[in-house]
Structure 1
């Protein structure tokens, strides 16, 4: 018998990017861009089955090791202030089992011509602390990948 557990955590990640907040925001708004920078590593595959980046909109994606998309991620956008803030609720599942539920806030602040990004993941892990560590590592790697993505976007974005 598998013992069910609930673990709560708040994960806060901060990054600085040599790009204006509008460019950083565009990397979140553009699903094709998110497909590129949102994978934590080249060995992970990320597919969007639905992408609706607007308040009330829902993204549905699948991810996992290449060729084995075992995780389903449903993201509902609760608040979007272009260039400043994105707040979403996220449910990660494997089959019928919910693994985690999160409230994620992304804040963008202009610092001269650069952007300070603060991502806060208020996560409830269902089944153990491994989901919290995995979320921290995956989100951190994705935010690191965002540096390369920002160099791909047009300057006026």
Structure 2
């Protein structure tokens, strides 16, 4: 019998957006906006069953390939400093099988009229390393998609 394994990793992603920290924070806080930019591809879907964006609040979502939302994600907000920081924990499961647990920190830093976003995901993946690669790819694609939230609005809105 093999022992259950756990793999630890720290993923750090950085993006620059042509928008103020207030606008970026708003896109991070709004569940409707998150459903637009939060999926890694056009073939994936993200649906929120519960949203409660506040310190201590819990979001519950399902995601995966369109029409096959096999993953359940529970996000608990540990610290929110509007326009500066969001710290949350995230548990990803498939059915009764817990796949990973993460501590996620999103930092927003004003850079002139733009914003530097730094996302740090400290993840413990259970079973194999695929969850870590998937987490990095998913967050990276979602952060790339986030730029579209600001492409149709003036930079000083």
* TM-score, scaled to structure 2: 0.95
Structure-1 residue corresponding to 2:139: 139
Contact 1:27/1:150 (CA < 8 Å) preserved in 2? no
Residue aligned with 2:60, SS:
strand
Structure-2 residue corresponding to 1:82: 82
Structure-2 residue corresponding to 1:129: 129
**Structure 2 vs 1, CA of residues 61 and 2 (structure 1 numbering), >3 Å: closer, same or farther?**
farther
For structure 1, the residue ranges without an aligned partner over 5 or more in a row are: none
Correspondences of 1:86-97 after superposition (within 5 Å): 86-97=86-97
CA distance in 1, matches of 2:39, 2:56: 24
Give the root-mean-square deviation of aligned CA atoms: 1.5
Residue aligned with 2:149, SS:
helix
**Structure 2 vs 1, CA of residues 47 and 133 (structure 1 numbering), >3 Å: closer, same or farther?**
same
Contact 2:20/2:155 (CA < 8 Å) preserved in 1? no
CA distance in 1, matches of 2:8, 2:64: 23
CA distance in 2, matches of 1:34, 1:156: 21
For residues 52-76 of structure 1, the C-alpha deviation after alignment (integer angstroms, 9 at most, x for no partner) is 1000000000001011010000000
CA distance in 2, matches of 1:108, 1:136: 19
1:49 aligned onto 2:49: yes
CA distance in 2, matches of 1:44, 1:92: 16
For structure 2, the residue ranges without an aligned partner over 5 or more in a row are: none
Residue 4 of structure 1 deviates from its aligned partner by 2.1
CA distance in 2, matches of 1:3, 1:96: 18
* TM-score, scaled to structure 1: 0.95
1:67 aligned onto 2:67: yes
CA distance in 1, matches of 2:121, 2:110: 21
Question: Would you say how many aligned residue pairs link Structure 1 and Structure 2?
Answer: 157
